[in-house]
Amino acid sequence: MHDDRNLVEGRLRRVLDERVRPAVYPESVPLDVAVWHAPGEPVPVEEGLAATPEPIAVGARWGAPWGTSWFRVTGTVPEKWAGRTVEALLDLGFDGNMPGFQCEGLVHLPDGTPVKGLNPRNQWVRIGAPVAGGEEVRLHVEAASNPVILEHHPFSFLPTPLGDKDTAGTEPQYTLTRMDLAVFDETVWHLVLDLEVLGELMAELPADAPRRWEILRAVDRALDALDLQDVNATAATARDRLAEVLAAPAAASAHRIGAVGHAHIDSAWLWPLRETVRKVARTAANMTALLADEPDFVFAMSQAQQWAWVRDHRPAVWARVKKAVADGRFVPAGGMWVESDTNMPGSEAMARQFVHGKRFFLDEFGIENDEAWLPDTFGFAAGLPQIIRAAGSKYLLTQKISWSQTNSFPHHTFRWEGIDGTRVFTHFPPVDTYNCEMTGAEIAHAARNFKDKGVARHSLAPTGWGDGGGGTTREMVAKAARLRDLEGSARVAWQTPHAFFEQAEAENPEPPVWVGELYLELHRATLTSQAQTKQGNRRSEHLLREAELWAATAAVRTGFRYPYEDLDRIWKTVLLHQFHDILPGSSIAWVHREARATYARIAAELEEIIGAAQRALAGEGDLPLVFNSAPHARAGVPAGAAAPPVAEGRTELTPRTGGGHVLDNGLLRVEIDGRGLVVSALDLAGDRETIAPGLAGNLLQLHPDLPNKWDAWDVDAFYRNTGTDLTAADEVAPGADAASVRVTRSFGSSRVTQVLTLPPGERRLEVDTEVDWHETEKFLKLAFPLDVHAERYAAETQFGHVHRPTHTNTSWEAARFEACNHRFVHVQEVGWGVAVVNDSTYGHDVTRTVRTGGDGGDGGDGGTTTTVRVSLLRAPRFPDPETDQGVHRFRHALVPGAGIGDAVREGWRLNLPERRVTGGAEVAPLVSVDREAVVVTAVKLADDGSGDVVVRCHEAHGGRARATLTAGFAVAGVTVTDLLERPLAGQEAAVEADGDRIAVRLRPFQLMTLRLRRA
């Protein structure tokens, strides 16, 4: 037989496009349309419905950027359509390639009842099936003219002012394209899907596979049966000729795909938070409507914050959601407040993501999630498995690691082991998308790509339009029905996340294990972009610690009113802003402008709570007190206490031979040369130089920074090929006090002022940097070349630290050229190390070189230089063309002679500066611990209002620890709990209580939550 595949496949494409798809709606009549443009921000539904619209015609331009327009569409169903299915086709000017990324609408009935959302792949509204004829149609569309920020075909990362309503202008963005009533021919619609499924499957089968040829011949016969001049009359016959190949069952060994309806909705990204509130409502309205029509369909939605938005802003949609949840088909997923970044949030913040997320679903529905659902998060910190388990969950889903540019992850189903040894069952969907459309290419890719063949055969496919929302379409559901049991394809069945994970774990109870962080080899620049957003997050996390600590202490000691509601609300706001496009700095200008204002408001509220609690504790008097919020003693003040400060010596400032200055406090001797660079930092007790020979620390380095794409997200390795050392100083002079030196520099259009301080009695050089930043597409680093031979270094993460190699032996190590730390990076030889600590930066790199030997003629000593570089600022122009322009302030410290415990302590100290208050008496700690390795991360009152004191601690040095926790109040009982403050079974032996003294034993990096009942 001749090979006529190309001929038949070409025929199929043309007939589908030109004849069959248009025949889905064979008859139509125009609707009358009028519009009212809301002046400013979106208005309540009642106001939009009551407004007086003006006539508008199809073809007219509408919609200023970020505007809201209320369209009223009216018409009459023709009498001759009686007995047929009729739909309204409402095309606001959609681009079918961009669902979720442009204009959208929510359709309401005249009484305000929401019907469904409109988007580029969902433009229909059912009027009747069948209609009687003569019905009056009246619909109201709340349409959002969200501008296109990211052009998807092809991707375009050009700077645009459209990312902020303050700069976007008023030019209409869309053209009203179609507003019709139309007859819906369901038989033709099914024919379209029959042909699509078979055509897509055929294209994925080998050319010599008999099944491919069977499908080809069936398609050819079906097309022969179609009268191209009367598709509607002949569609049923064409379908009959496809029935046999559609009924052929899949092989017994076929891969099995659990499909779950999905609409990954970014809580903010290329749209502001307020628009996400509406995106979620549109999607939820669509999904509840689809659930009513499709009995097998299951939809899962994560992010408790988004559920709360529906509840609080769209009660009519919420009522439908609640009913669908009760039916078990609209499924809360993930158990987190938002799908957050997991690299940068601190220990407590990461824990509270689960506390607030899981508690919301428990309170609203009595449902407890057992999976973490993070399909789009940019890599996963090694402390996360323990947090997931401590929250009462046991599974993790993500898809994003498939985006890695260099190395292909070796598993799709595995156990992920964190820094403390905790393991969670983890799945990466091999379909490699969280926006699956149920295409043949996607399903075939999932089956081929699945790396666990032979030991497992199940994978998950999150199905539906996401990013900007929209969800699953009726076409996707219909395709899934055809793929339930189809020869040549994987089998597809709708499943809840819980059902999938239970099934996957049962068939593969001992999967391979991956130890350590799940590093995404992409989007590394999200650790640095939008510095003020990151600073706001870090500052908020520590202010919340202080507010809880001092409010709890004051509540127990003085009867101070513990601000439960305020702290709950503020925590949820901070958690929202840890969403994986806000904290990483990859959202539009509007989002970050609002974030800066929000963080300022939060800081003011928390400062007020802290101040009131400390005043209640200090009482009246003139005694100078230092309140120490850090988990370690300092200046003679115990952790969590207030006492008069103890003087700790002095620092001398003297001229340096050859120019510059010397700072000496008896512990460190620091030389700052005439360029303002640190050329020596001598640990006097250890008689050990910190700075590598011939090099200088506190070195600012500027690199060009234009990644190949994803500007705010990515920094590509080639940025390191070119760079400039900023060694020229405008001024190097003594600072405002005898312990500091002030350095100013100018470069490009920017200016830097640094104050280098050596505090008395401390083995720590503090570096305060102010940058007036006006560069574009540049990357600013702060470098410390250290005379340390280290093959690995430690970087703080949640509830501990992770080790990374300093070498690049393999492609896996080479790909980690930019990584995340929290408060410290630590490098060490046996017996001596150095820490670099920070108050608000996350990105860094650590590299090593070997100096030439003494016989090289250049004075080299053959030693190793380990260089720690802190990432300060970037200047990408997409999606925010003015990213980080303006003044920024950073605090860092170089800590020579530091062990890992010193790094932990100094990191906390820099982030929790002392507070000075006058009062009448010292304040004893509410809780104290007798081992520095056991760090208390939170002291608070129990969330249930019982008055119990909750203490969360962890082992921070990486070894086993026994410690005694002493309560500064009478204790009636102690319970080990999960993160939600519920008793943990089988933990009785973990603690031994004797009155107010509680002995604990912790594994390396183990976290523990204790609930202390007050007597």
Catalytically annotated residues:
376
Distance CA 694, CA 701 (A): 17
Distance CA 50, CA 314 (A): 18
Whether the bond between 154 and the residue before it is cis, its omega within 30 degrees of 0, is yes
Cα–Cα distances in Å, from 677 out to 680, 787, 928?
9, 16, 40
Cα 844–850–853 angle (5° rounding)?
160
Give me 633's structure tokens.
């003693």
Distance CA 382, CA 801 (A): 8
Q: Are 662 and 654 in contact (CB under 8 A)?
A: yes
Q: Are 735 and 819 in contact (CB under 8 A)?
A: no
Cα 266–267–273 angle (5° rounding)?
130
DSSP assignment string, 775-814: -SSEEEEEEEEE----SEEEEEETTEEEEEESS-SSHHHH
Partnered with residue 447 across adjacent β-strands are: none
Q: Are 1009 and 979 in contact (CB under 8 A)?
A: yes
The amino acid sitting at 256 is R
* List of residues 6+ apart from 134 with CB closer than 8 A: 76, 77, 79, 82
Distance CA 591, CA 609 (A): 27
The bridge status of strand 997-1002 relative to strand 961-967 is: antiparallel
Q: Are 449 and 423 in contact (CB under 8 A)?
A: no
Partnered with residue 778 across adjacent β-strands are: 704
Cα–Cα distances in Å, from 358 out to 258, 312, 967?
24, 18, 29
DSSP assignment string, 899-960: -HHHHHHHHHHHHS--EEEEESS-B--SEEES-TTEEEEEEEE-TTSS--EEEEEEE-SSS-
Distance CA 181, CA 76 (A): 8
Q: Tell me the three state secondary structure of residue 299.
A: strand
